[in-house]
Amino acid sequence: MTTKSWVDLVVITAVILLIGTPLVSAADPVPSGSGIASLFLIISADVQGSLLSDSELGVSQGTKNLSDNPPLDPQGEGQATIGYDEKTLATSGSITYTRTMDLDTSSQNANGANLETVRQIDYANGGDGDGVGTMYSRESVLIEVESTDNQDERAGACPAEGSKEPCPTCEGDVVDDSSFSGPLYNPYCVFSDTFDDDDEPLDDDDEPLDEDDEDDSATTSEIPASPESIPASSVRVIAGSEVQLSEGSVNSASSTRAVADNPDAGVEASYSVNIDGSGQTGNDRAEGKGEVFTDAIVMEGEGTNETTELSYEQHVMAQGLIEISMETGYSSP
């Protein structure tokens, strides 16, 4: 008689990341623009065989010109980005798949969201009779809010008069935009001065200063101040999950807000996921491999000076007979 043995690995984890910064200037939402878009999507499938679902969504809203970023205008500019990425591939099995997406880029209140998603998946490779299939599924949600202070003096004038120190450069790790799960970075260099390619000082017309050009860095009459006052900050939060299962279920939901005319509405991002057993087999645990993750970096400051930094990373991976639950979120103020 053959005895079948199982490696029984149960991982149950709950991750709650709630960031509030009442004592410093927390990230403010970006005001809504003149163009407002909405998108509502419902997908439902019940399949014996194979299924492929692949989607990416990115929305950016700014207070000035998005096309010349980075860097942001040191005189005061804000930009917010919301991203969502999902891919599911199931072969040789029985799968039920439902996903809803509700996008609204208009201004939201403290109880509203610019993007909400819900996903429900149940898979069993024995559903079509051969028992050799597998399901791969990944999902991630991203929120990024970058803003610079309104300043009385041009931050880009460098070097300072009489200083022989070289100007700082706008540096940072750049990630592949096609993947939200890369390393954390600050793409718009909020807490760096702005320079041209030759690192020459800039006047208010973004032209190198020469002997005949008067330094008008202290004059703001020619540069209209932004009507929105947004404290200097940089926030990037990403959360998601990835599974490869022979059977099991994945249920997830996300909500993000980054566009609001009232700063008191705040910026918010939340993601929850449960990886569990399949309702088709009645097993109480999924079989295969699963991973959940959340990464966040929050930087606050004044002008080009960074005064506060908070970072958090959490990755959990399990393989065998698994059950994973994660809930994570960021909110301000």
Q: How confident is residue 275, by pLDDT bands cut at 50, 70 and 90?
A: very high
Residue 211 predicted with pLDDT over 50: no
Q: Tell me the per-residue pLDDT of 86-101, one tens digit each, with 9 for 90 and over.
A: 999 999 999 999 999 9
Question: Residues 6 or more apart from 180 whose CB is under 8 A from it?
Answer: 83, 85, 140, 141, 142, 238, 240
- Region of residue 258 (phi > 0: left; psi between -120 and 50: alpha; otherwise: beta): alpha
Residues in a beta bridge with 9: none
DSSP code for 111? T
- Region of residue 172 (phi > 0: left; psi between -120 and 50: alpha; otherwise: beta): left
Residue 224 predicted with pLDDT over 80: no
Residue 1 predicted with pLDDT over 60: no
Closest CA to 18 of 269, 293, 277: 269
Distance CA 187, CA 184 (A): 9
Residue 253 predicted with pLDDT over 60: yes
Neighbours of 168 (CB within 10 A): 15
Is residue 222 situated within a structural domain?
Answer: no
Q: Count of domains in the chain?
A: 1
Supply the pLDDT for residue 147.
86
Weakest mean pLDDT among 67-76, 104-113, 154-163: 154-163
Percent above pLDDT 90 for the chain: 44
Supply the pLDDT for residue 221.
33
Question: What is the DSSP code string of 265-330?
Answer: G-EEEEEEEEEE--TTT--SSEEEEEEEEEEEEEEEEETTEEEEEEEEEEEEEEEEEE-EEEEEEE
Is residue 4 situated within a structural domain?
Answer: no
**Domain span at residue 140?**
38-153+168-200+227-332
Supply the pLDDT for residue 110.
87
Most confident of 169-178, 203-212, 253-262, 304-313: 253-262
Q: How confident is residue 5, by pLDDT bands cut at 50, 70 and 90?
A: very low
Q: How confident is residue 306, by pLDDT bands cut at 50, 70 and 90?
A: confident
Residues in a beta bridge with 99: 43, 119
Is residue 9 situated within a structural domain?
Answer: no
Supply the pLDDT for residue 210.
45
Q: Tell me the per-residue pLDDT of 110-164, one tens digit each, with 9 for 90 and over.
A: 889 999 999 999 999 986 667 789 999 999 999 999 888 764 433 334 444 555 5
Contact 173, 148 (CB under 8 A): no
Is residue 131 situated within a structural domain?
Answer: yes
- For the record, the structure tokens of 208 come out as 């190198």
Supply the pLDDT for residue 82.
94
Is residue 3 situated within a structural domain?
Answer: no
Residues in a beta bridge with 215: none
Residue 80 predicted with pLDDT over 70: yes
Supply the pLDDT for residue 115.
97
Neighbours of 179 (CB within 10 A): 11
Q: What is the mean pLDDT of the chain?
A: 75
Is residue 221 situated within a structural domain?
Answer: no
Distance CA 85, CA 244 (A): 17
Is residue 243 situated within a structural domain?
Answer: yes
Question: Residues 6 or more apart from 76 whose CB is under 8 A from it?
Answer: 63, 147, 148, 149, 150, 151, 225, 226, 228, 229, 230
Cis bond before residue 187 (omega within 30° of 0) = no
Weakest mean pLDDT among 55-69, 94-108, 243-257: 55-69
Weakest mean pLDDT among 72-86, 93-107, 268-282, 300-314: 300-314
Is residue 210 situated within a structural domain?
Answer: no
Supply the pLDDT for residue 231.
61
